Amino acid sequence: MPVKRVNMNSDGIYINREGGPLDKEYLTSRRIRIEVSNDSYEAYVTVDERDPQLSDIQAALEANGIVYGIDLKELLTGISMPGRRVLVATGTRHTDGIDGFFVEARGRTGWEAKNRFGIRNFYAGDTVGVIHKPTTGIVGIDIYGRKVQPKQGRPMNMLTGPNIKRIETEDEIRLEAAADGNLSVGEASIDIIGEHTVHGDIDYSDGELEFAGTLRITGDVKGSSRLKVKHDVHVQGSVEDAEIIAGGNVTVEGSFVGRGDGTIRAGGNADVRVVLNQMIEARGSVTIGKESVNARIIAANSIFAKNAIIMGGMMTAGEKIEVQTLGGDLYPTTKVKLGLEELLIEDASAIDKEIEIQTKSIDRLKNEIYILVRDRIDSKNFTAEKLNQLKALQAELQRQNESVKHLNGKKQQKAVEISRKRRPRLTVLGTVHQSVTAEINGVRIPLKQSATNVTFEELRNDIIRTKNL
């Protein structure tokens, strides 16, 4: 520890009238030796065997300007134990401020999605991270009674994109996703990107791939892969016996061909060029570009296949079906059903079930929040970790309440659709083969022979057939 030589007064007491740190070399053969640490927060005294008085040591400390943090008990210890170096004065150390820092949330992402595909899922309302504000530090006082100013923490400058909402409190800035998608974090920026592209194929070894936004795949979806996407899915290649579940539209530029284990479920529309043996279900419409063979296709609105052949399997639509060629000799069984009231009722039941599940989850969240709030009121040791947990639960409760509100809106919309009178129609631009079994609103279309360029509608439990213009 660096020290400086002290000067001796007429009483043989060595003092440092310059103040501040002393030289590292110890003084010997003196009655009193005083040392001060480099940071001026500690003073040490060593006395010889001539037993100086307490007032002598106090005078020496005062002469050196040491006036703060003096410990009388330790002064007496120094007198009673000659030759022992004793800490007799201690300042109050300053505490430097802490720089602001960012803590990223984990998100809702599996290992494969994050590590292979670079996906970190966040949904609107999720907390994506917290910017902790810098602290100012605490002023210290050295043994000379001087204030020691701490180093101030520097703020964390994090730029946020348009899909990030900033919620500021006294101690932190919580960053919340304002849209669904992939979290993108740079050195000093953060945003939610609504669209993500997988370059190449996805196969069964990737397991289930979930994405909160819109997913584009430049290759194929192979084997028994499973994709669960909040918004749209666009596959530039083909899809095999995979399952694709999307909240929005699904587009497959290639074929959807397999053993019959493949499924596409779209919350919007589905657009596929070729379908063989598979199932497509859309809450909007389904478009077939070239052909559908032995497939099951369900569309809440319409099925468009104006330039396509549909043979075998089953087609069900709520509003209309437009097809070039319907049925064929290779697949004598081709079933068509128009009018979708029972499917709408099924949708409403599914919404009721989802509302029930989320209501139970909300009740559980409320209980957990109540426990933490009571703990915050009653406990004197409510940790920062518990506070963060409480904030996360409150954010999740708000998100689930919004979700239930949205589901109730969908339920009301389904009720309106169920009550609406429909007049679906089947339009065949080319040939409808005699082997086709078709019905509209539960009324079977009599096909005694094949027909061309014809439209069928139901009116008062009867089938009306007209030639297309």
CB of 120 closer than 8 Å to CB of 107: yes
Rg (CA), the chain: 39
List the one residue out of 322, 330, 275 whose CA is nearest residue 425. 322
Sheet holding 443-444, edge to edge: 208-211, 226-229, 243-246, 263-266, 279-282, 296-299, 314-317, 334-338, 436-440, 443-444
* Alpha carbon distance 57, 42 (integer Å): 15
Domain positions in the chain: 7-90, 101-138+149-192, 343-419
Say what the pLDDT of residue 37 is.
93
The set of residues, in sequence order, having a beta carbon less than 8 Å from that of 461 and lying 6+ positions away, is: 443
Q: How many CB atoms lie within 10 A of CB 188?
A: 10
Higher pLDDT, 26 or 290: 290
Over residues 78-102, mean pLDDT: 92
- Lowest mean pLDDT segment, chosen from 107-116, 212-221, 415-424: 107-116
Query: Is 70 exceeded by the pLDDT of residue 350?
Result: yes
Does the pTM surpass 0.85? The reply is no
Listed as own residue / partner, the contacts of 160-167 with beta carbons closer than 8 Å and 24 or more positions apart are 160/189, 160/190, 160/191, 161/189, 161/190, 161/191, 161/192, 162/191, 163/191, 163/192, 163/193, 163/194, 164/128, 164/190, 164/191, 164/192
Instruction: Please give the structure tokens belonging to residue 299.
Output: 């569309």
pLDDT digits (tens, 9 = 90+) for 151-208: 999 999 889 999 999 999 999 999 999 999 998 888 888 999 999 999 999 987 777 8
* DSSP structural state of residue 31: S
Given a cut of 70, whether residue 315 has pLDDT beyond it is yes
* Alpha-carbon span 295 to 305, nearest angstrom: 13
User: Which one, of 343, 292, 296, lies nearest residue 319 by Cα?
Assistant: 343
When pLDDT is averaged across residues 350-375 and rounded to a whole number, the result is 88
pLDDT value at residue 214: 96
- Once rounded to an integer, what is the mean pLDDT over residues 425-438? 93
What integer is the mean pLDDT of 294-316?
94
CATH class for the region spanning 101-138+149-192: mainly beta
What does the angle CA 124 – CA 125 – CA 127 come to, to the nearest 5 degrees?
A: 110
Task: Assign 415 a pLDDT band (cuts: 50, 70, 90).
Answer: low
pLDDT given for residue 241 in this prediction:
94
Provide the pLDDT for residue 416: 63
> H-helix or E-strand containing 73?
helix 72-80
For position 203, what pLDDT does the model report?
86
Q: Which of 315, 320, 336 is nearest to 439 (CA)?
A: 336
Distance from C-alpha of 342 to C-alpha of 28, rounded to nearest angstrom: 103
The pLDDT of residue 344 = 61
Asked if residue 45 lies in contact with residue 75, where contact means CB atoms within 8 angstroms, the answer is yes
Average pLDDT, the chain: 86
Sign of CA dihedral 272, 273, 279, 283: positive
Please report which confidence band the pLDDT of residue 13 belongs to, taking 50, 70 and 90 as the band edges. Answer: very low
Greater pLDDT, 59 or 232: 232
Range 62-91 average pLDDT: 91
Per-residue pLDDT band for 237 (boundaries 50, 70, 90) equals very high
CA quadruple 316, 317, 321, 323: dihedral sign? negative
Residue 459 pLDDT exceeds 50? yes
**Would you say residue 451 has pLDDT above 50?**
yes
Taking the C-alpha atoms of residue 456 and residue 467, their distance in angstroms, rounded to an integer, is 9
**CA angle at residue 219 from 225 to 206, to 5 degrees?**
30
- Cα separation, 240 vs 193, in Å, equals 28
pLDDT digits (tens, 9 = 90+) for 260-301: 999 999 999 999 999 999 999 999 999 999 999 999 999 989
In the chain, % of residues over pLDDT 90: 51
For residue 175, the surrounding DSSP H or E stretch is: strand 172-177
In the predicted structure, residue 414 carries a pLDDT above the cut 60: yes
Lowest mean pLDDT among 71-75, 116-120, 308-312: 116-120
Determine which of 132-136, 345-349, 374-378 has the lowest per-residue pLDDT on average: 345-349
Residue 304 scores a pLDDT above 80: yes
pLDDT of residue 190: 92
Residue 28 pLDDT: 35
